[in-house]
Structure 1
Amino acid sequence: MILLTGGTGYIGSHIAVELLQAGHDVAILDNFSNSDETVIERIESITEREVILYRGDVRDTLLLTSIFQSHDIESVIHCAGLKAVGESVKDPLAYYDVNVYGSVTLCYAMQQAGVKQLLFSSSATIYGVNAQPPYTETMARGESSSPYGTSKGMVEKLLEDLSDSDPQWSIAVLRYFNPIGAHPSGLIGELPQGTPNNLMPYISQVAAGLLPELLIYGNDYPTKDGTCVRDYLHVTDLAVGHRMAVAALKKPGVNYFNLGTGSGISVNEMVEAFVSATGMNVPYRFAPRREGDLGAFWACSKKAERELEWRAEKTLEDMMVDTWRWQQFSTKTKRSH
């Protein structure tokens, strides 16, 4: 069985679907700080499999101990954490508490239970403000632009030290670039609380009439059209990467993998692609740059392709169409309650 922390969140729920459909048994631990329990029903509806759910916090030592005692856990996928760059600048203590202390607590419980296969959800932000794209796994961790990125880098270092102390640990660190889109069923996707921090739910909520306009933060970056450039990949491709990385967890030590498409797309291009794919209008205006945002970065994902036999398969149009399908479902569901 695989323990999946943060398994009802945006990325975690797609990983859960991918694992269950591949025949894995999955136990989810989540405190629902950025999701709700209906996600479990929808995961089970898509997969026609039962999910074991523990409602609780990854910092709860007693709960973790109980989970490991109750199930034959072979490996852990650790997605639980806070993830908004801007919010982390405003509230760094929360990010170090949840992301760093939460990881320490989880690793300690794993060590006590003799479970030493871990897949950690990291981020491209660990490459830092001065790294030049494309980012490769051989680059050193740099100076982060936010406490969020710093917290991810601190956990990576913790995992290296843990592995050095005990060679029985087998750890895969997946450095995400910018996951977007939703499951093709339209039943699960990204549903942030309040005004979205991420671009795609912001675009789709404006298109749905839930927000009046899209704010594009900064149009004076040294990029092709002045707006930020990111490496956007479909969340289901990201989930497949986790399934393939779990299969590779027999290798001792810490192994790092970038998960991205290998190319960058600007915010302006994303808006144009959404309008083209859906026919919906997305009014927008430019706003000042956000603190913590970098101008441009994208991945080199050749290592994942070579060692995990993984590559991003979905197109930009797939990402847009699936996002809009999910937005329509979630808007309809919200209005019916």
Structure 2
Amino acid sequence: MTILVTGGAGYIGSHTVIELLKQNEEVIIVDNFCNSVPEVLNRINIITGKDIIMHEGDVQDKEFLRDVFSQYDFDAVIHFAGYKAVGESVEQPLKYYQNNIAATLNLVEVMTEFNVKSIVFSSSATVYGMNNQVPFNETMPTSATNPYGYSKLMVEQILTDIANSDADWAVTNLRYFNPIGAHESSLIGECPNGIPNNLMPYVTQVAIGEREELSVFGNDYDTHDGTGVRDYIHVTDLAKGHVLAINYNRTHKGATVVNLGTGIGYSVLDLVKTFEEINKVPVPYKICDRRPGDIATCYADATKAKELLGWQAEKTLEDMVRDSWNWQAKNPHGYHTK
């Protein structure tokens, strides 16, 4: 198969490209490097021993997309390209709606023009909103509390409506929980621009001395230690889920939604303490006020992923914190490390 991966140089995209190449798929990456760097392509080449085909450009540019589609006979698309910072989405909602929704419309329109009707979409557990009881399963009502969440919900709806209108479409919306970790080679990992929005890169930057201390937002939740509980999933497990979703789309039409999570909830302090114990590195932290919109507990019911895709998470929290630290320690300046 020939698979287009939008945002394929990003954190989850790059790990997925590796897993696709291991399955001997032909992979074409489209990325504008707004939240990634070209060096990741060199790292993928070292890991896989395969040349990487890359087109630099923006999914918002329909003519650019048409040019890419005209060069290859694509069988499917994995769509990662999108902004992902909740706080920024509140400050700049139009930016998020334009990039995450309008650009997806461009992509789907070009896919239709070229008769490419299989897509795996990078969605998020944030679509479960504030009021569902854990574990979250795919039949629960959805809602959102910020433009980022609304953009994920809207794209899920758009893709589902397209599949309902045309029986040739195969759509799998994958709802991620909390990806952390890095490739076991330590050559690729999470490399955020500026101050990290996610917990693990902040932990590793504190551990390596780049930041003074970790801010833990709230210790008065109804959890075993008062800090928020989340379902942390190793990025390699997540990447393998995308490969299985592509395989699923080969033989199943219509639209489906699938959680990708471990089904286990760990608190912020569970993660910090496990990180310190496994890596023998201290992580100073301070307790701060809760952030608006944060819920106490969030973890997946991953039954459907096992039943439909034959997927389940394999890596433990210990694996996740070890691989995260190995990536940071060996790449103290991320992809700018020589």
TM-score calculated relative to the size of structure 1: 0.97
Structural RMSD (CA)? 1.2
Please identify, of 38-47 and 86-95, the stretch whose mean Cα deviation from structure 2 is larger.
86-95
Letter in 1 for 2:123: S
| 1:179 match | 179
Runs of 4+ in 1 over 4 A off after TM superposition: 332-337
1:136/1:301 contact within 8 Å kept: yes
| 1:222 match | 222
Aligned-partner Cα distance in 1 for 2:257–2:237: 17
Aligned-partner Cα distance in 1 for 2:194–2:293: 20
Where does structure 2 lack aligned partners over 5 or more consecutive residues?
A: none
Letter in 1 for 2:61: D
2:45/2:51 contact within 8 Å kept: yes
| 1:85 match | 86
Aligned-partner Cα distance in 2 for 1:335–1:242: 28
| 1:251-281 C-alpha deviation (Å, 9 max, x unpaired) | 1110111000001100011100100110001
| 1:111-161 C-alpha deviation (Å, 9 max, x unpaired) | 11100000001000111111111011111222x122111110000111111
Aligned-partner Cα distance in 2 for 1:199–1:294: 15
Letter in 2 for 1:177: F
1:86/1:290 contact within 8 Å kept: no
Structure-to-structure mapping, 1:248-287, within 5 angstroms? 248-249=248-249, 250-287=251-288
1:217/1:286 contact within 8 Å kept: yes
Letter in 1 for 2:287: F
* Change in 2 beyond 3 A, CA 1:191/1:334: closer
Q: Does 1:194 align with 2:194?
A: yes
Aligned-partner Cα distance in 2 for 1:327–1:66: 37
Structure-to-structure mapping, 1:1-337, within 5 angstroms? 1-142=2-143, 144-249=144-249, 250-331=251-332
Aligned-partner Cα distance in 1 for 2:32–2:337: 25
* Change in 2 beyond 3 A, CA 1:319/1:207: same
> Secondary structure in 1 aligned to 2:298?
coil
Where does structure 1 lack aligned partners over 5 or more consecutive residues?
A: none
Aligned-partner Cα distance in 1 for 2:35–2:85: 11
2:183/2:323 contact within 8 Å kept: yes
Aligned-partner Cα distance in 1 for 2:231–2:300: 7
Aligned-partner Cα distance in 2 for 1:133–1:34: 32
Aligned-partner Cα distance in 1 for 2:316–2:128: 26
2:245/2:309 contact within 8 Å kept: yes
Letter in 2 for 1:264: G
| 1:257-313 C-alpha deviation (Å, 9 max, x unpaired) | 100000110001110010011000111001122233222110000011111110000
Note the C-alpha offset of 1:213: 0.5
Aligned-partner Cα distance in 2 for 1:173–1:24: 21
> Secondary structure in 1 aligned to 2:28?
strand
> Secondary structure in 2 aligned to 1:216?
strand
TM-score calculated relative to the size of structure 2: 0.97
